[in-house]
Amino acid sequence: MSQTNTLKPEISPEDSPLKIGDIVLHSRLIVGTGKYKSFEETERALEASGTEMVTVALRRVDFGANDHLLNHIDPKKYVILPNTAGCYNADEAIRVARLGREVNNSNLVKLEVLADPDTLLPDPVETLKALQILVKEDFVVMTYTSDDPVMAKRLEEEGSTVVMPAGAPIGSGQGILNENNIRIILERAKVPIIVDAGVGTASDVTRAFELGCEAVLLNTGIAGAKDPICMARAMRYAALAGRAAYLAGRIPKKLYASASSPVKDF
Amino acid sequence: MNITVNGKSLEIEENANILQLLSHLDLHPQRVAVEVNRAIVKRGVYESHTLAKGDEIEILQFVGGGA
């Protein structure tokens, strides 16, 4: 079956690329590499999504494994974004960030410090502590947080290059649960706001962009779909549609009708 | 001599360095990060860092993961 890419370029003519540190992205989807059935499926889903940046976690080496994730992620096509997934305090997250920097030869890191494994909610206190240290060590930090506007602003003020509020709990597929919070965060932010977590289907992605988000990070929404390759493609279209609609400037919502044709005169 | 790697005991030749350890384990130096006794060792010194008996080594790699 043909794998030709029929949707080029990735970016609308009205748009300009997203800059994160030194990195320039045309696709505004960032995709996780977890929860796929196989490396092959991972590779095909990333391709179908059109993404240019993928997140990876850091774990102990599996001795005797005959394949490796990095055999399936072409570094010429994708920027690798190491994350601190699985860390429950600042010290762990800082350690993982430093180790990730060693493997990746890059200062870019996605910081997430979770409070507990059941809710997977971010721990704001430990996140802030870790961020402060990582900024001092010259990391370019993309920070995962709840949709609390106060926390989002604090993270920006403490040096987070990008702030990433959750739409809903990780893997929950509920979309953006509180649009008002995301809108307040967007109004006050001077750094890119990227919705991260909770995305379930294409309209969730489109909605995030319509609100004004600069990008969306998702993993389960694609990997957990019945057909991940098909969903990856759907997400790609959704991102393009939402971002273009935002840039186009929508009509206002009105209580009363407004005819599209002139008043009949015969 | 005996060292611990990722929590498991391993026998390795005396005065082995990290590069030799990685080779012994069939690992690509560019794809891992290494800690010896909880301190990160930079890739540039893998060849010159000689391991000692009882060293606790963590070898980490990137795996699939998302939010």
Hey, are the CB atoms on B40 and A100 less than 8 Å from each other?
no
A181 contacts A149 by C-beta, under 8 angstroms: yes
User: What pLDDT, on a 0 to 100 scale, did the predictor assign at position A9?
Assistant: 60
Q: How many domains does chain A have?
A: 1
Of the listed A8, A35, A37, A110, which one is catalytic?
Answer: A110
B45 CB within 8 Å of a chain A CB:
no
Give the tokens for residue B25: 């384990």
A2, part of any domain: no
pLDDT in tens, A108-122: 999 999 999 988 999
Q: So where are chain B's domains?
A: 2-61
pTM: 0.93
Smallest CA–CA distance, residue A244 to chain B, in Å, is: 25
Q: Please compute the mean of the pLDDT values over residues A92-106 and round it to a whole number.
A: 97
Can you give the CATH number for the domain in which A131 is found?
Answer: 3.20.20.70
A77 catalytic? Reply is no
B56 CB within 8 Å of a chain A CB:
no
**Of all residues in chain A, what percent carry a pLDDT higher than 70?**
97
A254, part of any domain: no
Rounded distance between C-alpha atoms, residue A117 and residue A110, angstroms: 18
Q: Give Cα B56 distance to the centre of its chain.
A: 9
pLDDT in tens, A251-265: 999 999 988 899 998
Residue A1 reports pLDDT greater than 60: no
Q: Which positions 6-45 of A are in contact with B (Cβ < 8 Å)?
A: 31-36, 42
Phi, psi of A91 (to 5 degrees): -60, -45
A253, part of any domain: no
Residue A186 reports pLDDT greater than 70: yes
pLDDT in tens, B9-58: 999 999 999 999 999 999 999 999 999 999 999 999 999 999 999 999 99
Q: Please compute the mean of the pLDDT values over residues A223-245 and round it to a whole number.
A: 97
Q: Which CATH superfamily is domain B2-61 in?
A: Beta-grasp domain (3.10.20.30)
Q: Which positions 220-249 of A are in contact with B (Cβ < 8 Å)?
A: 220, 223
A258, part of any domain: no
Smallest CA–CA distance, residue B24 to chain A, in Å, is: 11
Could you say which of B28, B42, B65 has the minimum Cβ distance to residue A102? B42
User: For residues A57-78, b (16+ Cβ closer than 10 Å) or e, as one string?
Assistant: bbbebeeeeeebbbebbeeeeb
Q: Please compute the mean of the pLDDT values over residues A204-218 and round it to a whole number.
A: 98
User: What pLDDT, on a 0 to 100 scale, did the predictor assign at position B67?
Assistant: 54
* Domain assignment of residue A72, given as a range: 18-248
pLDDT in tens, A154-181: 999 999 999 999 999 999 999 999 999 9
A162 contacts A149 by C-beta, under 8 angstroms: no
How sure is the predictor about A29, in pLDDT bands with cuts at 50, 70 and 90?
Answer: very high
